[in-house]
Amino acid sequence: MSTALKPSILIIYTGGTIGMITEPLTRSLVPVDFNEISAQLPELLRFDLNLSTYTFNPVVDSSNITPKFWIELAQVIGREYLNYDGFVILHGTDTMCYTASALSFMLENLNKPVVFTGSQLPIGVLRTDGKENLLTAIEIAAERKNNQPMVPEVCVFFQNKLYRGNRTSKHNAEYFNAFVSENYPPLAEAGISIHYNYGAIHYPVNQKQLKVHTLLNDQVAILKLFPGIRQDFVETFLALPWLKGLVLETFGAGNATTADWFIDLIRAACDRGVIILNVTQCPAGAVNPGKYETSRLLHHAGVINGRDLTTEAAITKLMFLLGQVLYPDIVKEYLNVSISGEITI
């Protein structure tokens, strides 16, 4: 932990819209060095904090994020963990929730803030949302009470609200309120003051040493059901020889077609060791196996109840658990356990 009198915050710039400028010839947005951002924000100098920056080289557009990037980001935090009181990660919005979810599993025993933020408009644009997002994220990462971090978990701050990272999804590509957390309340809301929802924040009981997990298994996939999905497509999809884990996006409370061919294919995949996790396509709510016949059959075929997991948390949790090379029954057990507040038990 930092011994400085002033809190020390590391700002990690990975890429994304917040650090984009317009390329003169093509008029398209291209990423720039973090120095371009800091030059736009003289307000940073007004913080009574020790601020440092780390820039990925090269910076990464959020559409190009991979599990390899998550490992590199987790390793940066691991190396700098004892040197800083909190971390602010500037990240593209499109896959921010995937990265925040992954890190929530990879950073075991985390007891410092890791706050993701970004923007819908580049920080150099007059109407940018980036300035307020960044400044408030820094303030939250530095906030302490009784000499303890106010929000010691992986979270996302955007448009005045702080959410648990693995409960968040991007729902809007046009407006500044880009993110929602339908199944879990905000950890904080920023107005004239920042109001913290203490009952929603996870505070570790024991201060243990941070353990950074760097093993992820990308032999996973997402299958979104739709009316009229073809048998030959599902059969080919489930027969992929490398497939180890599948997030099945079902209707409503976990429902799917009861056609014999579909249930038989799902059962056969489960029998040969593919771990299938059932999550709802609905933005809010949870899988409730057995409520309808259409979900009960999936459950009996061997599909795991994903409860109220977001798709982002479901796929990254599968990658994380499969990466630990656990026995399949242990993986299934942990899928129904809240590792870092990602599901409601």
* 3-state SS string for 58-104: CCCCHHHCCHHHHHHHHHHHHHHHHHCCEEEEECCCCCHHHHHHHHH
Separation CA 185–CA 105 (nearest Å): 20
Location of each CATH 3.40.50.1170 domain in the chain: 8-212
Burial tier of 247 (Cβ tally within 10 Å: 0-12, 13-18, 19+):
buried
Kindly report the number of other CB atoms within 10 A of residue 24's CB atom.
6
Q: Please state the rounded mean pLDDT for residues 101-105.
A: 98
Residue, of 75 and 146, whose pLDDT is higher: 75
The per-residue pLDDT for 197 is: 96
User: Does the pLDDT of residue 139 top 60, yes or no?
Assistant: yes
Which CATH code for domain 220-335? 3.40.50.40
Q: Identify the weakest region by mean pLDDT among 2-6, 127-131, 274-278, 295-299.
A: 2-6
Percent helix, percent strand, percent coil in the chain, to nearest 5: 35, 20, 45
Tokens for 308?
Answer: 């109220």
The per-residue pLDDT for 3 is: 47
Distances (CA, A) of 321 to 100, 129, 142, 244, 342: 16, 36, 31, 11, 14
Burial tier of 246 (Cβ tally within 10 Å: 0-12, 13-18, 19+):
buried
Share of the chain above pLDDT 70, in %: 92
User: Does the pLDDT of residue 289 top 80, yes or no?
Assistant: no
Kindly report the number of other CB atoms within 10 A of residue 156's CB atom.
32
The per-residue pLDDT for 36 is: 62
Q: Do the beta carbons of residue 331 and residue 275 sit within 8 Å?
A: yes
- From the list 250, 258, 269, the residue with the least C-alpha distance to 311 is 250
Q: For helices 260-271 and 231-238, what crossing angle results, to 10°?
A: 0
- Catalytic member of 3, 14, 17, 310: 17
Share of the chain above pLDDT 90, in %: 65
Location of each CATH 3.40.50.40 domain in the chain: 220-335
The CATH fold of domain 8-212: Rossmann fold (3.40.50)
Q: Is 17 a catalytic residue?
A: yes
Tokens for 123?
Answer: 């920080």
Kindly report the number of other CB atoms within 10 A of residue 83's CB atom.
14
Residue, of 37 and 118, whose pLDDT is higher: 118
Separation CA 23–CA 31 (nearest Å): 9
Chain mean pLDDT for the chain? 90
End-to-end Cα spacing for the chain: 32
Q: Please state the rounded mean pLDDT for residues 271-294.
A: 87
Q: Which of 131-135, 153-157, 326-330: highest mean pLDDT?
A: 153-157
